[in-house]
Structure 1
């Protein structure tokens, strides 16, 4: 039998009306216009068959980490580009640089099973060892235990923000000035001793400082009337009196037997325990000298005054390294009280300014060059003291009141308004060097920190808040030989120094 039959013809010869099929859109001839041909979707083509990609149902069902709302380009897709019209729309909406219009490879390879990626990720996390902070750093000490170790009552401490009412000796004695009286406490025996009382005519005690390694039991004091005296804490007797000068005292600092004292008239007086008179003085400032610090080697003196000028005096050459503006090493926009020399790098110094400066400057006196500007840490807070760690490259700063940018060029604090706060307000903050990154910041007092001093071990800091009338000790660093030892920091002592 012949099977040739025309479509629409039944096998039994019955006449059935012929149905006319309507062509679909998919079978429309390509003879249409160019505009209609552009509308043909490319999704109807089987690219995997055309390029010879093997079909794998397991891989086709594999989950990916790609976002189903963001386009990703696989290895089997043709290049896709944005059109000029898309660019115009994106530009009008501000998305011209957005990732929505930027195609990128997916997070996984096209045919890589997800389980392998998870295994590799788990293995990398297993073998990754986070870098632990050094046991010497403040990150492992002050940051781990932010509470104070010891607290002392301090009623009557001078509220002058430029006073130096506290000092820590090499024999572990903490001395504190209360108006006209000076006390000290031996931190080993906890014995409190009233060292002396100055006459009413001398005015309150403005600054005190212990001698260094040669005579650690000698304490010097200076008053607001200009009197300067030295006392022996062991015999509790006065051993020197340099009260001929009537210019009020600023900061003071010992270098063996030589005591440098800042004056209100801009001078820096030098006294020697072996002589009854002033041995010499330097002139470089025009305003009250607040900050005075000898370098660790005793070759230079760094000084800062009320106007923010900083000078470094070379004792051997008997001249200033920064005598005029052409050689000016650093300049603050506010008074400078806080000065600290690095104990591990010769010539490295840090200075801090008060309102309206509020910045820490770090520089090297051996590189007097305009092309080598100092490192600057802006705090918008009064910087009251600075201390370098002798065990690591870290710098501690203490802070008082703060202000905002809008208040920088006006009188501070604004009348009738509460002073603003910043992350540095009333804090004790540790910075790394030379990155100047903040390591840890602790607010140990509810009021501004007026002054601080570092202990003989180079690990602990005493801070004083005159408004709060408290003195607190914090463990900031650890010595390298103290690793793994019990430091007794869990005990909190409460006592009074009067």
Structure 2
């Protein structure tokens, strides 16, 4: 039985809610005993029924509060209280041994107020107000005077590697370089074009060569016999089986690629033909006089209309993809937008005329996914690329290219376009649309870029420059995942068509 008695004694000693035997009396007990003189025994003064046997009554506050020690009731330990004044508690209940003993349980504070008071005594601040992670949605303000030594770390805006978007890879070097001897260094001419059948036509002085991109085969299509004559423009029909050729002697020739023979020669201009563009069976040609002629290649009387909106050479000419408008740029710094049909008077008049360029406008390109958006570029005295809404006639954006703009091509894969430039860096620049942010620059030509043309798959851009080279840039390579999805969609579409034919 001895060990049971020992356990009971040990249990009694470990209990914190029982008075400690043989402990010295509390300070308030000693003061009460000294002020009252001989009186009731300590046991009587400890009685909860007689708490008023003090030097002060219920209507009189004590002269001093216990400053040396307060009792943390929940932890059972004595902690210093001199660091916290009654003003620093901000109205919280100052729970201590004195309060509990003097006023009894009817004056006790709530558990929340006790916890706040203990936190103020222990830490010097309210823990709830200093928490970093809370379940509430509102951010907590730092205590007054707090300085964050790690603020540099928290000011960095970082994105996890798993969710970071990487830009596509654009090769800075050309995929292939072809020699182009005797190519004419003339800003106003259009000397290369890429067909839908993957043939690249290049005009070198008085000859036209065809380069098969698939096989690498080179074919000489024609050579002008007159030594004073030269080829000034080339343009493929949409189907890719006919090539239009403009010459210095104001002639427009039509060539059959399969038979490699000239079908017809059309003469209506009085000076060289520097620009050509197809719209179905209508071939439009721009000349040095500033006139634009429409040729119906199906009939003998091919000259069906004349557009007179420029006073100097027409060097940029392009039909929109839907065939509704023809855009023309001239050496008179004008950009005209022509309708595909005649007006009420039987004449063609431009629906829009843009005069903001300060130089010759050769670079003219229609946006492939917005049929009413046109991009134009100015020459050496202008050096600006401008984006137009041809329906409203407003300039959507303009950017200073800091160099002569010779050609512009829109990408069919990305919301981007590429421009070819002359003096002084002779580079190609890829721009993001509509932000007009510069994506990258492609360098390699040692003389100005004269013309740009794009492969039928929209991946490769061919640039012809005055350094007598053609460079092929794979700058619009499709993402492999998107490429597979597109191939699957095309195969599914072709299978459906094949089943329907059966």
TM, length-normalised to structure 2? 0.64
Q: 1:320 to 1:447 in 2, by over 3 A?
A: same
Q: Please name the residue that 2:270 is paired with.
A: 246
How many Å apart are 1:123 and its aligned residue?
13
- Correspondence 1:75 to 2:74: no
Q: 1:117 to 1:309 in 2, by over 3 A?
A: closer
Q: 1:226 to 1:484 in 2, by over 3 A?
A: closer
In the alignment, the residues of structure 2 paired with residue 230 and residue 430 of structure 1 have an alpha-carbon distance, to the nearest angstrom, of 34
Q: Please name the residue that 1:383 is paired with.
A: 405
In the alignment, the residues of structure 1 paired with residue 152 and residue 207 of structure 2 have an alpha-carbon distance, to the nearest angstrom, of 73
Q: Which of the numbers 390, 396, 399 marks the counterpart of 2:418?
A: 396
The Cα offsets for residues 9-43 of structure 1, whole Å up to 9 and x where unpaired, read as xxxxxxxxxxxxxxxxxxxxxxxxxxxxxxxxxxx
Matched residues, number? 354
Q: 1:335 to 1:191 in 2, by over 3 A?
A: same
Q: 1:433 to 1:218 in 2, by over 3 A?
A: same
The Cα offsets for residues 62-112 of structure 1, whole Å up to 9 and x where unpaired, read as xxxxxxxxxxx98355xxxxxxxxxxxxxxxxxxxxxxxxxxx7446xxxx
In the alignment, the residues of structure 2 paired with residue 363 and residue 349 of structure 1 have an alpha-carbon distance, to the nearest angstrom, of 5
Alpha-carbon contact 1:202-1:227 (below 8 Å) kept: no
Q: 1:311 to 1:320 in 2, by over 3 A?
A: farther
- Correspondence 1:428 to 2:428: yes
Higher normalized contact order (CA 8 Å, seq sep 6+, divided by chain length): 1
Alpha-carbon contact 2:337-2:353 (below 8 Å) kept: no
How many Å apart are 1:398 and its aligned residue?
0.7
Alpha-carbon contact 2:310-2:332 (below 8 Å) kept: no
Structure 1 SS opposite 2:166 = coil
Q: Which has the higher helix share?
A: 2
Mind listing any 5+ residue stretches in structure 1 that lack a counterpart? 1-45, 58-72, 78-104, 109-113, 134-139, 403-424, 486-498
- Correspondence 1:173 to 2:199: yes
Alpha-carbon contact 1:250-1:263 (below 8 Å) kept: yes
Alpha-carbon contact 1:203-1:223 (below 8 Å) kept: yes
The Cα offsets for residues 101-144 of structure 1, whole Å up to 9 and x where unpaired, read as xxxx7446xxxxx7x998x99997657721233xxxxxx142xx
Q: Please name the residue that 2:166 is paired with.
A: 132
Structure 2 SS opposite 1:459 = coil
Larger radius of gyration: 2
Q: Counterparts of 1:21-36 in structure 2 under 5 Å?
A: none
Structure 2 SS opposite 1:162 = coil
274-283 vs 446-455, which deviates more? 274-283
The Cα offsets for residues 190-247 of structure 1, whole Å up to 9 and x where unpaired, read as 111110111326611111111112xx12111111221110111211110010134322
Runs of 4+, deviation exceeding 6 Å: 46-50, 52-57, 120-124
How many Å apart are 1:257 and its aligned residue?
1.8
201-210 vs 220-229, which deviates more? 201-210
How many Å apart are 1:426 and its aligned residue?
1.1
In the alignment, the residues of structure 2 paired with residue 47 and residue 261 of structure 1 have an alpha-carbon distance, to the nearest angstrom, of 94
Q: 1:240 to 1:435 in 2, by over 3 A?
A: same
How many Å apart are 1:331 and its aligned residue?
2.9
How many Å apart are 1:322 and its aligned residue?
4.0
How many Å apart are 1:376 and its aligned residue?
0.4
- Correspondence 1:298 to 2:323: yes
Structure 2 SS opposite 1:367 = coil
In the alignment, the residues of structure 2 paired with residue 387 and residue 351 of structure 1 have an alpha-carbon distance, to the nearest angstrom, of 10
Q: Counterparts of 1:194-209 in structure 2 under 5 Å?
A: 194-200=220-226, 203-209=229-235
Q: 1:288 to 1:430 in 2, by over 3 A?
A: same
Q: Please name the residue that 2:114 is paired with.
A: none
TM, length-normalised to structure 1? 0.65
Q: Please name the residue that 2:184 is paired with.
A: 158
Alpha-carbon contact 1:450-1:465 (below 8 Å) kept: yes
In the alignment, the residues of structure 2 paired with residue 306 and residue 48 of structure 1 have an alpha-carbon distance, to the nearest angstrom, of 86
Q: Please name the residue that 2:255 is paired with.
A: 231
Q: 1:189 to 1:320 in 2, by over 3 A?
A: same
In the alignment, the residues of structure 1 paired with residue 157 and residue 362 of structure 2 have an alpha-carbon distance, to the nearest angstrom, of 54
Structure 2 SS opposite 1:374 = strand
Structure 2 SS opposite 1:439 = strand
Q: 1:321 to 1:362 in 2, by over 3 A?
A: farther
The Cα offsets for residues 447-490 of structure 1, whole Å up to 9 and x where unpaired, read as 21111101111121000112x211010111134677477xxxxx
How many Å apart are 1:282 and its aligned residue?
1.0
Alpha-carbon contact 1:322-1:329 (below 8 Å) kept: no
Q: Which of the numbers 211, 222, 226 marks the counterpart of 2:246?
A: 222
Q: Please name the residue that 1:263 is paired with.
A: 287
Q: Which of the numbers 341, 348, 368 marks the counterpart of 2:373?
A: 348
How many Å apart are 1:329 and its aligned residue?
3.4
In the alignment, the residues of structure 2 paired with residue 121 and residue 436 of structure 1 have an alpha-carbon distance, to the nearest angstrom, of 29
Alpha-carbon contact 2:452-2:462 (below 8 Å) kept: yes
258-267 vs 239-248, which deviates more? 239-248
Q: Please name the residue that 1:476 is paired with.
A: 475
Q: 1:171 to 1:48 in 2, by over 3 A?
A: farther
In the alignment, the residues of structure 1 paired with residue 172 and residue 184 of structure 2 have an alpha-carbon distance, to the nearest angstrom, of 26
Alpha-carbon contact 2:270-2:289 (below 8 Å) kept: no
Alpha-carbon contact 2:460-2:475 (below 8 Å) kept: yes
Q: Please name the residue that 1:310 is paired with.
A: 335
In the alignment, the residues of structure 2 paired with residue 126 and residue 292 of structure 1 have an alpha-carbon distance, to the nearest angstrom, of 48
